[in-house]
């Protein structure tokens, strides 16, 4: 049985109107690979350390292979093009989850 995988994205939006196009195009690309949002922006509170990205998104996929297929897939590649120039930074990390 494969372990779940999580995608952690951090960004700072510089053009909210343009970024809305990316936000509208992305959800269907997740569903095609079994992905779902766990965190999508929202209020945050730094309680220790200095890591304080402007916006955080966390996605869950059934496996690392699913997460990678989503990121590299044609649909999400097109969605990524919609956000070009709309952020000051956009970081993506894919990490395998823990199963006891």
Domain layout of the chain by residue ranges: 5-44+53-96
Cβ-proximal residues to 2 (8 Å cutoff; 6+ apart), any chain: 62, 63, 64, 65
Residue 100: predicted pLDDT: 77
Residue 99: predicted pLDDT: 80
Residue 31: predicted pLDDT: 95
* DSSP secondary structure, 9-59, as one string: EEEEES-HHHHHHHHHHHHHHHHTTT-EEEEES------SSS---SEEEEE
Residue 1: predicted pLDDT: 76
Task: Divide the 100 residues of the chain into consecutive groups of 10 and give the mean pLDDT of each group.
Answer: 94 96 96 96 93 96 97 96 96 92
Q: Which fold has domain 5-44+53-96?
A: Alpha-Beta Plaits (3.30.70)
Closest CA to 18 of 86, 88, 89, 91: 86
Instruction: Report pTM.
Output: 0.92
Question: What SS3 class is residue 90?
Answer: strand
């Amino acid at each position: 049985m494969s372990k779940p995988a999580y995608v952690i994205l951090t960004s700072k939006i510089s053009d909210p109107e343009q970024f809305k196009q990316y936000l509208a195009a992305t959800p269907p690309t997740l569903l095609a690979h079994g992905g779902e949002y766990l965190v999508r922006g929202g209020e945050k509170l730094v309680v220790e350390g200095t890591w304080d990205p402007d916006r955080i998104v966390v996605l869950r996929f059934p496996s690392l292979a699913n997460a990678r297929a989503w990121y590299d897939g044609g649909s999400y590649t097109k969605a990524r093009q919609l956000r070009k120039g709309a952020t000051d930074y956009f970081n993506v990390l894919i990490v395998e989850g823990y199963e006891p």
